[in-house]
A and B are shown apart, each in its own frame.
Chain A
Amino acid sequence: MFYREAGDFKTSYVADSQTFPIKFDRYRYYVVLAVAFGIIPFIINDYWANALLLPFLIYAIAAIGLNILVGYCGQVSLGTGGFMAVGAYACYKLMTAFPDVSMFIHVILAGGITAIVGVLFGLPSLRIKGFYLAVATLAAQFFLVWLFNRVPWFYNYSASGQINAPERDVFGIIITGPNAPAWATYLFCLIFLTVCAIIARNLTRGTTGRTWMAIRDMDIAAEIIGVNPLKAKLTAFAVSSFFVGVAGALFFAVYLGAVEVGEVFGIQKSFLVLFMVIIGGLGSIFGSFAGAAFLVLLPVVLKVVGVDVLGWPTDIVAHLQLVVVGALIIMFLILEPHGLAQLWRVAKEKLRLWPFPH
Chain B
Amino acid sequence: MNKKLATLALGALMASGPALADLVIPDLSYRTGPYAAGGIPFSDGYNDYFTLLNERDGGIGGVPVRVVECETGYNTEKGVECYESTKGEGALVYQPLSTGITYQLIPKVTADGIPLHTMGYGRTSAANGKVFSNVFNYPANYWNGASGAVNYLLDENGGDLTGKKIALVYHNSAYGKEPIRTLEMLAEKHGFELTLLPVDHPGQEQKSQWLQIRREKPDYVVMWGWGVMNQVAVQEAANIRFPMENFIGVWWSGAEFDVEPAGDKATGYKALTFTGLGDDYPVYDDLRKYVVDGGKAAGAGDQLGAVQYNRGLYAAMLASEAIKTAQEMHGVAEITPAMMRDGMEALEMTNAKMEGLGMAGFGPEFSVSCENHGGPGLVGVVQWDASTGTWNQIQEFKPTDAEVIGQLIAEDSAAYAAENNISPRCE
Contact = CB atoms under 8 A, between A and B. Distances in A.
Contacts of A313: 31, 299
A183 B5 contact: yes
B173 interface: yes
A164 B103 contact: yes
A228 interface: no
A124 interface: no
Interface residues of A, number: 44
B69 interface: yes
Contacts of A55: 77
A19 B112 CA distance: 44
B76 interface: yes
A336 to B, nearest CB: 28
Contact of B77 (A41, A159, A256, A317): A256
A227 B77 CA distance: 43
A183 B10 CA distance: 11
A256 B112 CA distance: 16
Contacts of A303: 71
Nearest to A96: B419
A260 B84 contact: no
Contacts of A167: 420-421
A40 to B, nearest CB: 11
A318 B71 contact: yes
Given A42-B5, A315-B32, A160 B419 contact: no
A166 interface: yes
Given A181-B5, A256-B76, A314-B31, A164 B181 contact: no
Interface in B156-177: 172-174, 177
A167 B108 CA distance: 12
A229 interface: no
Nearest to B100: A260
Nearest to B108: A178
A164 B31 contact: no
Contact of B103 (A182, A258, A266, A315): A258
A182 B395 CA distance: 50
A108 interface: no
A337 interface: no
B19 interface: no
Contacts of A319: 32
B132 to A, nearest CB: 13
Contacts of B29: 314
Interface string A132-176: 000000000000000001000000001111101011000001000
Contacts of B426: none
Contacts, number: 128
A44 interface: yes
B345 interface: no
Interface string B30-44: 011000100010000
Nearest to A251: B77
A159 B9 contact: no
B392 interface: no
B135 interface: no
Interface string B81-115: 10011011000000000011001100110111000
A45 B13 contact: yes
Interface stretch (A2-10, A46-54, A275-283, A341-349): A46-54
A256 B108 CA distance: 10
Interface in A302-319: 303, 307, 313-315, 317-319
Given A160-B123, A264-B77, A318 B103 contact: no
Contacts of A256: 76-77, 80, 104
A50 B81 CA distance: 7
A317 B80 contact: no
Contacts of B85: 47, 51
Contacts of B84: 46-47, 50-51
B200 interface: yes
Interface string B53-95: 0000000000000000111010111001100110110000000
15 contacts: A42-B9, A43-B12, A46-B88, A47-B13, A47-B16, A47-B88, A51-B84, A51-B85, A161-B173, A167-B421, A181-B5, A183-B6, A258-B104, A307-B70, A313-B31
Interface of A: 41-47, 50-51, 55, 149, 158-162, 164, 166-167, 173, 177-179, 181-183, 255-258, 260, 262-264, 266, 300, 303, 307, 313-315, 317-319
Please list the 5 inter-chain residue pairs (A to B) with the smallest Cβ-Cβ separation, ordered nearest first.
A315-B31, A178-B111, A178-B107, A160-B174, A314-B71
